[in-house]
Amino acid sequence: MNTTLAGKVALVTGASSGIGEATALALSAEGALVAVGARRADRLETLVHKAVGEMLALELDVTDQESVRAAVAKTVERFGALDVLVNNAGVMLAGSIAGADTTEWTRMVETNLLGSMYTVHAALPHLLERKGAVVQVSSTSGRIASAASGVYAATKFGITAFSEALRQEVTAQGVRVVVVEPGFVATELADHITDPTMRAAAQQMATSMRTLQPEDIANAVVYAVTQSQHVAVNEILIRPTDQTR
Ligand code: NDP
């Protein structure tokens, strides 16, 4: 086991699958104590058994401020501090603007944007105390919007705006803010798209290229949070080599 993060405590949201799961395992492999949050508690229990070191499963719904505050409190109660927040929970319910089911817009804004803001709000006092780091999982959609991803992109652009404001507020106090912007990663994210045409398009895209794997993003997170305290890696954009746009 590596020890670059020995003595550090991390909280990863959206850790029941995909990027969050891989990131939690990668941080654990570097020696961190890791709390993992998501709604599917059964998946988290399975993850805890795969971890190298100590891992704490927390049932968490990031759209619920009480749930978020409780998850942060339980992390600190169990491990004594919080050094790294990986704000990763998200949904991508792709679809056109015209005729959209706007309850899906609400879900995306509440999960990806407000949920991520609530988590920063709850974690920040602890991160300030430890001169910690916040990793905000955005997307290439946080830089370039495209048809059928308007609201998803709006949430990810929102994360970028919030993160830059946060960076300006806390960097002088030693808290580092990292925005990670993945391109296409092979996870279950697109399986939750309700529009069959959009879901098929995402599946087609996945088979048309060598996609990134969740571990590729986890490696980037580990890179960012293991730099010396005076080095702030603020933004990492990672696309599959085969992804054109
Ligand atoms: P997954 O669907 O595998 O993971 C999404 C995670 O978010 C799950 O663990 C899910 O857990 C969790 N989640 C969803 N809603 C909530 C909620 N209300 N409260 C708590 N957790 C929640 O997809 P990815 O790993 O791909 O996605 C992770 C992040 O990466 C997202 O923010 C996504 O936008 C971003 N991303 C992904 C890309 C890709 O190509 N895959 C590209 C760019 C960015 P549960 O359902 O158990 O609550």
Instruction: Please tell me the distance between residue 229's alpha carbon and the centre of ligand 1 in angstroms.
Output: 28
Helix (H) or strand (E) holding 189: none
Per residue in 7-61, pLDDT (tens digit) is 999 999 999 999 999 999 999 999 999 999 999 999 999 999 999 899 999 999 9
**The pLDDT value given to residue 67:** 98
Residue 147 DSSP code:
T
pLDDT at 86 > cutoff 90 = yes
pLDDT at 189 > cutoff 80 = yes
Q: How far is CA 29 from the centre of its chain?
A: 18
**The pLDDT value given to residue 245:** 82
Domain boundaries, the chain: 9-236
> Which numbered atom of ligand 1 lies nearest the CA of 214?
25
Per residue in 131-165, pLDDT (tens digit) is 999 999 999 999 999 999 999 999 999 999 999 99
Q: Name residues whose C-beta falls within 8 Å of residue 119's C-beta, 6 or more positions apart in sequence.
A: 13, 62, 68, 72, 85, 87, 89
152 belongs to the catalytic site: yes
Q: What percent of the chain has pLDDT over 70?
A: 100
Q: How far is CA 14 from the centre of its chain?
A: 7
**The pLDDT value given to residue 38:** 99
User: pLDDT-derived band of residue 3, with 50, 70 and 90 as boundaries?
Assistant: very high
Q: Whose CA is nearest to atom 8 of ligand 1?
A: 14
Instruction: Please tell me the distance between residue 9's alpha carbon and the centre of ligand 1 in angstroms.
Output: 21
Read off φ and ψ for residue 127, nearest 5 degrees. Answer: -65, -35
**The pLDDT value given to residue 80:** 98
Are 5 and 33 a contacting pair, CB within 8 Å? Answer: no
Instruction: Please tell me the distance between residue 111's alpha carbon and the centre of ligand 1 in angstroms.
Output: 9
**The pLDDT value given to residue 52:** 87
**The pLDDT value given to residue 203:** 93
3-state secondary structure of 44: helix
**The pLDDT value given to residue 45:** 98
Q: Which of 19, 36, 152, 184 to mutate to test the pocket of ligand 1 (most atoms within 8 A of CB)?
A: 19
CATH number of 9-236: 3.40.50.720
User: pLDDT-derived band of residue 2, with 50, 70 and 90 as boundaries?
Assistant: confident
Sheet architecture: strand order including 133-137: 55-59, 33-38, 9-13, 84-87, 133-137, 176-182, 235-238
| Predicted structure pTM score | 0.98
User: pLDDT-derived band of residue 220, with 50, 70 and 90 as boundaries?
Assistant: very high
Q: Looking at 79, 105, 118, 152, which residue is catalytic?
A: 152
Q: Whose CA is nearest to atom 31 of ligand 1?
A: 90
